[in-house]
Amino acid sequence: MSGLSGLNKSPNGVIVSVVQLQLPVVETKKQLTAQAAIIVSMVAKARRNLAGCDLVVFPEYSLHGLSMATNSDIMCAVDGPEVRSFQQACIDNNIWGCFSIMEINPDGNPYNTGLIIDNFGEIKLNYRKMHPWTPVEPWEPGNVGVPVCPGPNGSTLALIICHDGMFPEMARECAYKGADIMLRTAGYTAPIREAWRFTNQSNSFCNLMATANVCMSGSDGSFDSMGEGMIVNFDGTILAYSSNGRSNEIISAEIRPDLIHEARINWGVENNIYQLGHRGYVAIDGGAKDCPYQFMRDLMAGEYCLPWENDIKVVDGTSCGFPKSKRKYNG
């Protein structure tokens, strides 16, 4: 159904291209500016590569690199010059884009932020990573929830970042809010390869939602990112996949939001996102609509606690060189 990876576009299709961008080294403002220019050039490449492309997706850390540095010189603002250059690239190439920045936070650690920009240069979605990859990442936990936005050709888009996708609740939230295409951007390295693949597929299947997923690629001299561009259909089947992790390769496929909507309306068996809130509707009119899950009730009450909680060894960032935080979360 991918139309030969987007070469043949249907009237109802959305062609998504994900970029396995070469992992950069960014330690100075000059390097940041140069990397932003590389991303802009890759937006143009995506347009040249596939005339019908609607949306080009760049990985997490595509601007910042994997250093985990929180140096204010290389942090970005949503209205800063780097983002403005991305907005102009979308205008110049008449294409939607998804981009990654590390966002200045005057009240604490920076946010790991993802932006979706339309072909007129307007920021349509601004998302802050909900689940930083602790203990490795120092980013402030996101405080804007999981937004969705209208996308190209009648689609509805959501964005989650890397480790977010290991929490089934994140993809479920995207679908619950109406997303038919979920983007997952990442900087993952090779040890996560198998988990990356099967969570991408399960996120799609469990929510009748297409997903477009991509990591950074290549080495920065310390880390080796894996690429793994992967576009998955709503039934969990893979539409396009790059197994070689080649840097700067663009992987594309056509997604059909109309068929996703058809499945969500007409499927009985395995319409899991509906059945979650309508348990056993054969036996009970409308199904049971309670919350039978203890962890959900405890989370809502601020009392989430695992049976083995007191035995967990890694509960801060000291093992990765970060000082133990004394700040409390206030939303």
CB 76 within 8 A of CB 63: yes
Give yes or no for a contact between 168 and 295, defined as CB atoms under 8 angstroms apart. Answer: no
Catalytic site residue from 9, 53, 60, 76: 60
Instruction: Tell me which of 162, 174, 215, 249 is the catalytic residue.
Output: 162
How many Å from the N-terminal Cα to the C-terminal Cα in the chain?
42
Q: Is 162 a catalytic residue?
A: yes
Is 60 assigned a catalytic role? yes
Which is catalytic among the residues 9, 129, 137, 149? 129
Structure tokens at 22: 């070469």
The strand pairing partners of 182, in sequence order, are: 158, 211
Q: What is the CA radius of gyration of the chain?
A: 20
- Ranges of beta strands (E only) in the chain are 14-20, 55-57, 96-103, 111-117, 123-128, 148-150, 156-161, 181-186, 210-215, 217-219, 224-226, 230-232, 238-241, 249-255
* DSSP symbol at 290: S
Residue type, 328: K
Does 59 sit behind a cis peptide bond, omega within 30 degrees of 0 on the bond before it? no
* 133 burial level (CB within 10 Å; 0-12, 13-18, 19+): buried
Active site residues: 60, 129, 162
